[in-house]
Structure 1
Amino acid sequence: MSDYILTYSKIKFFPLEPVKEDIKIEDIAHSLSLMTRANGHCSHFYSVGQHSIHCYKEAKNRGYSERVQLGCLLHDASESYISDLTRPVKRNLPQYFTIEEKLQRIIYDYFGLGDLLDEERKQIEDVDDTLLHYEFETLMDFHMFDPSPYKSVEHDFSQRDFTSVEKEFIAIFNGLNYACSLRIRHE
């Protein structure tokens, strides 16, 4: 039995011993566009990729920095390599948390976000929770938080073809990555 997964781009990726150079945005976008939110218990297929795009849009509309916008887009990127567990299960598997945090840290570092400030991480977490609430409200008729969290823009939670999600994810990433790299060069 091997200790690697074979990614969409045919990389042998070792999730427990990840190599930065093996991280590919194409693999992340493809995998997340096919991975369902809420463990598949939504009223229709709704992907982690769509969720990530909505998180990016919420952060952008709130006027958060491009770094936070990129962090929102990539906040679930580790799931493309190790899948995800529901929150109640994840809370009871500390080893999974360790693996997930290590991989997410390496992904953030690879894409220039290894030095996120606590305030930036909090903004990403708030956006993630906001989308969680409105996704569950729309797709499962369930309110996660009371009162409902602040939302800066209406989001379309309708079912989308995975290829359109994958392409949009990569296009957003390319735009943000370019903007962030320009900002770094000018500082």
Structure 2
Amino acid sequence: MSDYILTYSKIKFFPLEPVKEDINIKDIAHSLSLMTRANGHCKHFYSVAQHSIQCYQEAKSRGYSQRVQLGCLLHDASESYISDLTRPVKRNLPEYFAIEEKLQKVIYDRFGLGDLSDKERKQIEEVDDSLLHYEFEELMNYPIFDQPPYIAMDHDFSQKDFLGIEQEFLAAYQELVNEMGDLVF
């Protein structure tokens, strides 16, 4: 038995030894559009792709660089290849963190973000945490933080069709490709 998964585009992908050229934006968009946030414990289907789009839009509304916007769109891309674990479980599986970190680094390298600065990484993390708070507040009636974090725009946490979200994810990526001019598709 081989240690690979077969992706949506029929690539044999080795998540423990990822090859940069095997990472495909269409695989990421498709997989994340079918994967739920909060391990499915929401009032309705809300995908990781929808969350990633919201993060991208928030970064754009904040006036962050296109690199940070792309980083926000792709910040959970590793989940498309290794899935995700809930935070309490993840904290107790240090090897998972190492696998996730290695894979996410290869993904960022693939899309020209391998050299994200500490400031850019912090901006991505802040956007992600802000959306986490408002998603949990809206979708679970449970605010994460006592003091609601800053958001630059209103977000739509309604249930959406996964195919539409997949296309929206790809359109956001394509928009950034067109603006930045040197990304790979």
TM over 0.5: yes
Query: 2:70 corresponds to which residue?
Result: 70
Query: 2:91 corresponds to which residue?
Result: 91
Query: 2:119 corresponds to which residue?
Result: 119
CA deviation string 1:53-81 (max 9, x = no partner): 00000000000000000000000000000
Gaps of 5+ in 1: none
Query: 1:45 corresponds to which residue?
Result: 45
Query: 2:150 corresponds to which residue?
Result: 150
Contact 1:78/1:103 (CA < 8 Å) preserved in 2? yes
Distance 2:93 2:175 in 1: 36
Query: 1:28 corresponds to which residue?
Result: 28
Contact 1:70/1:177 (CA < 8 Å) preserved in 2? no
Percent of pairs with identical residues: 75
Instruction: Tell me if 1:5 matches 2:9.
Output: no
Instruction: Tell me if 1:174 matches 2:174.
Output: yes
Distance 1:113 1:181 in 2: 14
**Cα RMSD after superposing both structures:** 1.0
Contact 1:78/1:100 (CA < 8 Å) preserved in 2? yes
Count of residue pairs the alignment pairs up = 183
| TM-score normalised according to structure 1 size | 0.96
CA deviation string 1:116-171 (max 9, x = no partner): 00000000000000000000000000010110000111101000000000001001
Amino acid at match of 2:120: E
Contact 1:30/1:166 (CA < 8 Å) preserved in 2? yes
Note the 1:99-110 alignment, pairs <5 A: 99-110=99-110
Instruction: Tell me if 1:14 matches 2:22.
Output: no
| TM-score normalised according to structure 2 size | 0.97
Gaps of 5+ in 2: none
Runs of 4+ in 1 over 6 A off after TM superposition: none
